[in-house]
Amino acid sequence: KINCKLLIHEGANTFSHHCICLLFFYQINSQDDKGVLVGNWSGDYTDGVRPTAWKDSCSILRQWYKQNCTAVEYGQCWVFAAVACTVSRALGIPCRVVTNYGSAHDTNSNLLIERYYDEFAEDLGDDSIWNFHVWVESWMTRPDLKLGYEGWQASDPTPQEKSEDVYCCGPVPVRAIKEGDLSVKFDAPFVFAEVNADVVEYITLRDGRHVKIGGSTTEVGQCISTKAVGSDEREDITHLYKYPEGSEEERQVFEKASHQNRLIQNEEEPGVHVKIKLSSNTMVGSDFEAYAQVKNNTDAKKNCRLMFYAQAVTYNGKLGETCGLTELAEINLAPTEGGKATLQLLYSEYGKAITQDRMIKLAALLVDVETKEFYRATKTLISIGAHISTLFELPIVPLQQACQTYGLRAGPGPLDDLIRPGINF
């Protein structure tokens, strides 16, 4: 049961592979009509299935069919993409799942991720950078476009922003993204920003003024990956989406994309440099320490204030509870010298704050008391979880008699079902 109202956008004479993709990618999410999946990023999945619990796409599609096309609960980006890939292949369209690490979500289409913070480091902006985001590529011709734009087409069934009044994104030629041709259908500016946006950070002062405190041209679009053909190895396809950072081709692409706000790299070091590091004996699932290292790069004495804190964060950049905080009213830095502030992360605190994504974001905000200049550093810790160790005292027996079976589940407590022989994770 496919909703065919998208044909209105294309016209009866241009029905082709890309139009089919528009139809069923639009149908994967339930944001508009009777789609297959309901998206849920709230952390509460009590009336459905946790997105991380799905093992395959077919069970989702069967459940949707048995429920008379009532949307299945719940999915997030990797689930939407996996279902879209399965449906594509079932229809005979070659398809693969793609993961973009450091994926930008540009809400105002200016090809910039603008982060605004108040003087207490509270995030005020709508733009975000997801730790990762997943979409699909489909291999097809594009008779509606000029030659050279056939081949892999990027499409995103995850409901993020509306395109042509419906929640779907693409298909857009991957080649067009690499060449910065943002006039190509469909949604080229949004996909281009996902892999190429620059980051600019501002502090919003009490009088309403915005003070630029930093940014990055390399944070977005890292290690774009897919599964290698014939193996379970990761294949890096970043080069298909963008030219090497800093290359002549990359600069030409940004000019072509009319990216007038691209950051100008400053060869000189900032007056004060802030960097976050972890203690060498850090072990996840236990107490550990993080350090904000501050360096005065000038010949003048610096009197600064520092706020160093930790917050739970989801993979799509949504900040949660604060789980660690250090405030220093004053840091005196002699010329060309440095200092260090310590933040202790207690498992009794961050263990209750982290979500199913098991991520913590560390941030240090430093302000020069005299010049009112701000400096900021961040670091995201991923896969925060308990350390598991086992110790067995067993007699020496032949290998075929020494097979053990283990079952792992989320959270404490006994397993609900009997684990059959084998290795289950």
Active site residues: 77, 133, 156
Query: Residue 199 in 3-state DSSP?
Result: strand
Longest alpha-carbon distance in the chain? 76
Q: Are 360 and 354 in contact (CB under 8 A)?
A: yes
Q: Concatenated DSSP letters for 277-310?
A: EE-TT--TTS-EEEEEEEEE-SSS-EEEEEEEEE
Residues in the chain: 425
Q: Are 155 and 135 in contact (CB under 8 A)?
A: yes
CA distance 253 to 258: 9
Residue whose entry in the numeric block shows the structure tokens 């339930």: 30
Q: CA dihedral in degrees (412, 416, 418, 420; nearest 10)? A: -70
Beta bridge partners, 73, equal 38
CA distance 400 to 387: 28
148: number of Cβ within 10 Å: 12
